[in-house]
Structure 1
Amino acid sequence: MKVDLLDRLDTVGEEAWQGLLARAAFPSPFMSWTWQSAWLAAFGGGRRLRLLRVGNAAGELAGLLPLAEDGDGVSRLLGGLDVSDYLDLIAPAGLEEDVWAALLQSRATAPETWDLHAIRAASPSATLLPALAPAYGLRAAAAVEERCPILDLPATWDAYLARLTSKQRHELLRKVRRLERELPGTVALASGSAEALEARLPAFFTLHRRSHAGKARFMDARMEGFFRTAVGALAARGQARLWTLEHDGRVVASVVCLEWPGAVGLYNSGFDIELAALSPGIVLLAHVIREALERGVARFDFLRGEEPYKLGFGARPEDLYRIQVGR
């Protein structure tokens, strides 16, 4: 296999990129052309793109490792730590070992370090890199950096409730019934098209910023612009939805969900702090999870962070790795 270093995403092109991603074992929206190009446009200033393209003997695209270097000799996966929950090598399932071997061989004498974040525990990369690196005079150190709580969804809502502990089930149903009693007529609505999502994003941004001081700092003007571009583009592909919980025309909670084959992921959220006692965010999530399982989605992913409310839905944490490759 041959490795080429590219400095432009469009040297590969969206069609080839997405075609390769569709063949990966664990494709995610965070690894898509849409997401990565939006991230580079918003946050790439001062960073040097190092896109490693791996071609097979016939010259066909066999792998992509999108990296960005900050000038410190460390190359990190494109997508950043703050906004991307799952990142990885992009390669066809079953060919990851060959692609990683080519990449490691190509950089065996290079002084740079690869700092690879947000690698799933189930990804072949988590085991292949530490095993392969020594043969090329390199060291790959893998460590758990965070966890993602996951729900494996059954076929029905009743079956889901039956899986919860008695305390979890009691608390969830109590919160749902209390809000329905205090705010009768409350409805959960999903905006799936790019146009509908764009129309409801202002309410999301308002609730997101007001619900927590840290979220207000996070969602600055540049981050809002990235959200509008990246999430809007995913919605146009059917890979993003914005959910709202509304009472008498007032939005009391809002969540952005991303979708990929077999899964729905909770990306970000906000709620009306004046109604915090009624747990509108929890109630909206119950609607989102129920809708997902009723249309046959196998997995609900709370994404990074082990906040207690996620575990209260019965989620089990899965490890997320950081792998550093160097001398």
Structure 2
Amino acid sequence: MALRCEIATTGEQLEALVPAWDELAEATGAPATLGGWHAAWWRRLAPPGAALRIVAVREGRKLVGLAPFLALRARGGQPQLRLLGAPATHRVAPLALPEHADAVASLTAAALAGLRPAAGYVAFDATDAGDGGLARLRAGWPGRRPPWLLAQKRAPAPVMELSDDDFDAWLMRKSKNFRKQVRRFRRKLGEADGVVRMTRTADELDRDVDAFVRLHHARWRGRGGSSVDPRVGELLRDAGRALLPSERFRLWTIEVDGRAISSQLFLAAGGRALSWNGGFDPDATDLQPSLLGILAGVEDCFRRGERSIDLGGGAHDYKLRLADADRPLVWAGLVPRDRRYPLNRALLLPRQLGGLARDGLERLPDERRAQVRGALARLRRGADAPAPAD
């Protein structure tokens, strides 16, 4: 049966897609691209002036591919297309059943190329470096020459491959010191009558989301603050109501004396989980509540027979202690070769130069890289300092 393509441009059309979209995310193991999650993001966190451009590909009535884009007007150029929810949610990407991947990419490329006004840039921010979706979209783009590929940056993203029989077998592969720490902190939590639980009801959801927001900002207070949108609680409530029944939204809370000290959110689909974000009470660090909250989610994934947990971008120490693989993220995009191509290339030059500078910095020896970063930090502090009085 031939594939056909449609473009959702309204919130009502997005909502109608969600059930089949969630099924497609489940079939392709893509927790970062769940429809219920991104519908909530669109309702609560969509940028001002954004317009939906979601490409849905069907075989008969069955959804076999979906590319969740939005359009934003760029200063001085054509609109830019960006993936919904990125980069706040890592690894968002177009979805396609494997047997239809190339055909879906070609239909998606033709649909995006046919938008009016035409897009000057198609951004893939914090997407999977090994996914292949960007390359397929570029190869399928209509025209004599493929769009120009702008590669901005690449970042590590640790992953846990759950190949052991169970959580205990996984823990035994860790260092003796790590095992001792986990057992000691779990024992201390038990002695404090701590409770570890996953949100299951609507009543619990409101309370637990409030705790997540409080603990997340407490974690970052004194460290420059969090980059998470202040309206994140609204997103989590909406997404939780949509995804709790399927247990694709898993919010783990640790409480002591009725007060939450840790909150960790996992999204899940198709045997894969994503550790989205979390927070903890800085006054309870003697219990290591963040680690114990994450481990609660990990143990749950083992019980469900899931295959992997994506710990998100950044080579943080706690992630490296848990992970056994790296699936890097990339920030990249396509510039179609239309009549405004020279202007769009010029407008993107600062991003290109920034990517080259980051690449050059990463190639330096560790000591030299630290010196350069220190010098840049001193320059920024100097630029922010008040001018001397006359």
TM range (shorter): 0.7 to 0.9
Q: Please report the TM-score for the alignment, with normalisation by the length of structure 2.
A: 0.71
The aligned amino acid for 1:79 is: G
Q: Give structure 2 stretches of 5+ with no counterpart.
A: 338-390
CA shift for structure 1 position 75: 0.9
Q: Matches of 2:285 and 2:142 in 1, distance apart?
A: 53
CA shift for structure 1 position 304: 2.8
CA shift for structure 1 position 7: 1.8
2:370 alignment counterpart: none
1:165 alignment counterpart: 175
1:252 alignment counterpart: 261
Q: Matches of 1:125 and 1:78 in 2, distance apart?
A: 15
2:73 alignment counterpart: 71
State whether structure 2 residue 295 is matched by structure 1 residue 286. Answer: yes
Structure-2 change in CA distance of 1:226 and 1:165 (3 Å):
same
Q: Matches of 1:47 and 1:162 in 2, distance apart?
A: 49
CA deviations 1:251-281 (Å, max 9, x no partner) are 2222222222213322221211112233121
Q: Which moved more, 1:215-224 or 1:189-198?
A: 215-224
State whether structure 2 residue 46 is matched by structure 1 residue 49. Answer: no
Q: Please report the TM-score for the alignment, with normalisation by the length of structure 1.
A: 0.83
Q: Matches of 1:277 and 1:191 in 2, distance apart?
A: 24
The aligned amino acid for 1:206 is: R
Q: Matches of 2:297 and 2:64 in 1, distance apart?
A: 37
State whether structure 2 residue 195 is matched by structure 1 residue 187. Answer: yes
Q: Matches of 1:108 and 1:175 in 2, distance apart?
A: 55
CA shift for structure 1 position 9: 4.2
2:87 equivalent among 66, 81, 84: 81
CA deviations 1:201-244 (Å, max 9, x no partner) are 22222222212126954456422222221233222332112222
CA shift for structure 1 position 188: 1.3
2:210 alignment counterpart: 202
1:32 alignment counterpart: 34
Structure-2 change in CA distance of 1:37 and 1:250 (3 Å):
closer
Structure-2 change in CA distance of 1:51 and 1:126 (3 Å):
closer
Structure-2 change in CA distance of 1:248 and 1:99 (3 Å):
same
Structure-2 change in CA distance of 1:193 and 1:64 (3 Å):
same
CA deviations 1:93-119 (Å, max 9, x no partner) are 221211212233445584521002233
Instruction: Figure out how many residues of one structure are paired with residues of the other and give that number.
Output: 322
Structure-2 change in CA distance of 1:244 and 1:66 (3 Å):
closer
CA shift for structure 1 position 160: 0.6
1:120 alignment counterpart: 128
Q: Give structure 1 stretches of 5+ with no counterpart.
A: none
CA shift for structure 1 position 60: 6.7
The aligned amino acid for 1:102 is: L
2:107 alignment counterpart: 102
State percent identity of aligned pairs.
Answer: 24
CA shift for structure 1 position 59: 8.3
Structure-2 change in CA distance of 1:189 and 1:61 (3 Å):
closer
- Structure with greater Cα Rg: 2
Contact map agreement 2:20 2:63 (CA 8 A) in 1: no
Q: Which moved more, 1:270-279 or 1:5-14?
A: 5-14
Q: Matches of 1:136 and 1:6 in 2, distance apart?
A: 28
CA shift for structure 1 position 33: 2.8
Q: Which moved more, 1:16-25 or 1:28-37?
A: 16-25
Q: Which moved more, 1:288-297 or 1:166-175?
A: 166-175
The aligned amino acid for 2:159 is: I
Q: Matches of 1:61 and 1:207 in 2, distance apart?
A: 38
The aligned amino acid for 1:118 is: A
CA deviations 1:181-213 (Å, max 9, x no partner) are 8x4332312222333222322222222221212
Contact map agreement 1:30 1:79 (CA 8 A) in 2: no
Q: Matches of 2:111 and 2:310 in 1, distance apart?
A: 35
Q: Matches of 1:90 and 1:262 in 2, distance apart?
A: 16
1:18 alignment counterpart: 19
The aligned amino acid for 2:207 is: A
The aligned amino acid for 1:98 is: A
Contact map agreement 2:57 2:64 (CA 8 A) in 1: yes
For residue 281 of structure 1, give the secondary structure of its aligned residue in structure 2: helix
CA shift for structure 1 position 309: 0.8
Contact map agreement 1:186 1:248 (CA 8 A) in 2: yes
CA shift for structure 1 position 170: 4.2
Q: Matches of 2:184 and 2:36 in 1, distance apart?
A: 40
CA shift for structure 1 position 123: 2.2
For residue 241 of structure 1, give the secondary structure of its aligned residue in structure 2: strand
Contact map agreement 2:154 2:331 (CA 8 A) in 1: yes
Contact map agreement 2:209 2:236 (CA 8 A) in 1: no
